[in-house]
Amino acid sequence: MTVEAACPLTARDYKSDYKPVWCPGCGDFSVLLAITKALAEVGRPPEEVAVVSGIGCSSRVPAYTNCYGFHGVHGRALPLATGLKLTRPDLLVLAAGGDGDGYSIGGNHFMHACRRNVDLTYVVMDNQVYGMTKGQPSPTTSPEWDSALVPGGTGLRPFHPLVIALAAGANFVARSFSGDPNGTAELIVEAIRHPGFSLIEVLSPCVTFRPEEREWAKQVHPAPVEPTDDRGRAARRVLTDDGFNIGVLYRGRRRPYQPPFGQAQVEVAEFEAEFLP
């Protein structure tokens, strides 16, 4: 059962004492601020919230909150978050990470999390690069991005996470920009309140390996159309937009997946006996 907080919570109530080790200017600072503001606005106390991640600069978020946290294996934030939510539906479960973590090694889990539509919120800090491992291209890197590691660029078509999410069954899809922490917080609040699997793609510059991403501040703009509940229409829009439309892009009506809880068919001792010599 949800325990109402005795007095209004603030973003500070969700921050841990650990000081982020991100590079000065990294977009992830503002995303952390947005997440803590959103949690305060939703009002569930930190002990009723679990923040789950894989590995990457962006995946350090759980350590910087004082909610329950799980800093897991690279690419495995979503199976962890899914299992947790299914067994503890009373918790607010938020997964966070980067484009490498979520769309490369974790790409298969991403699709199936969308398909399962468990009531989770997934915040992806997309900087179109592997920041933590020093600048390799990620699935969302543009083909012509020239770097010392891949001279002349990859020449590969980028993965389009929002279209994949829509096709696979995500129930809420939004895009935001880290330079607007208040707007990002509002989207995260809406995503948390929306039933089912919600994806928020946050354009979050990696100022160290992609300094040109500082220009995103001049390129982002509000989505020119109202959100739709028609995923075909939403998919067409995000396929043809400029990649800088900010706001809610899709609000679906799928019922979240939540199998009956607490009706185990097998006693734990019985299950253990199968594995004991």
Ligand X SMILES: Cc1ncc(C[n+]2csc(CCOP(=O)(O)OP(=O)(O)O)c2C)c(N)n1
**Interface positions with ligand SF4 (CB under 6 A):** 22-23, 26, 28, 57, 127, 131-132, 206-209
Upper half-sphere CA count for residue 107 (Cβ side, 13 Å): 13
Binding mask 227-246 for ligand X (x = CB under 6 A): --------------------
Residue 22 vs 122, nearer CB to ligand SF4: 22
Cβ count within 10 A of residue 92: 21
Q: Does 138 bind ligand X (CB under 6 A)?
A: yes
Residue 43 Cα distances to 4, 11, 37, 48, 49, angstroms: 8, 10, 10, 10, 10
Partner interacting with residue 208 (select from ligand X, ligand SF4, none; CB below 5-8 Å by kind): ligand SF4
Binding mask 68-97 for ligand X (x = CB under 6 A): ------x----------------------x
Residue type, 17: D
Partner interacting with residue 23 (select from ligand SF4, ligand X, none; CB below 5-8 Å by kind): ligand SF4
Residue 208 vs 228, nearer CB to ligand SF4: 208
Partner interacting with residue 74 (select from ligand X, ligand SF4, none; CB below 5-8 Å by kind): ligand X
Partner interacting with residue 207 (select from ligand SF4, ligand X, none; CB below 5-8 Å by kind): ligand SF4
Determine the Cα–Cα distance for residues 194 and 191; give it in Å rounded to an integer: 5
Helix, coil or strand: residue 179:
coil
* Strands, sheet with 49-53, edge to edge from the N-terminal-most edge strand: 68-71, 49-53, 92-98, 121-126, 198-203, 172-177, 245-251, 221-222
One of 30, 53, 121, 127 touching ligand X (CB under 6 A): 127
CA angle 181, 140, 143 (to 5 degrees): 130
Q: Work out how close the CB of 245 gets to ligand SF4 at its nearest, in angstroms, rounded to a whole number.
A: 23
Instruction: Identify the CA nearest to 220 among candidates 177, 160, 158.
Output: 177
Residue 129 vs 191, nearer CB to ligand X: 129
Q: Does 131 bind ligand X (CB under 6 A)?
A: yes
Residue 10 vs 108, nearer CB to ligand X: 108
Using a 10 angstrom Cβ sphere, with 0-12 exposed, 13-18 middle and 19 or more buried, the burial of residue 144 is: exposed
Q: Work out how close the CB of 50 gets to ligand SF4 at its nearest, in angstroms, rounded to a whole number.
A: 23
Number of residues near ligand X (by CB under 6 A): 20
Partner interacting with residue 138 (select from ligand SF4, ligand X, none; CB below 5-8 Å by kind): ligand X
Q: Which two tokens stand for residue 48?
A: 């009723």
- DSSP H/E element including 250: strand 245-251
Residue 105 vs 207, nearer CB to ligand SF4: 207
Instruction: Identify the CA nearest to 188 among candidates 20, 74, 32.
Output: 32
Total length of the chain: 277
Q: Does 100 bind ligand X (CB under 6 A)?
A: yes
Residue 131 vs 243, nearer CB to ligand X: 131
> Which residues in this chain contact ligand X in the complex, by CB under 6 A?
55-58, 74, 97-101, 105, 125, 127, 129-133, 138, 206
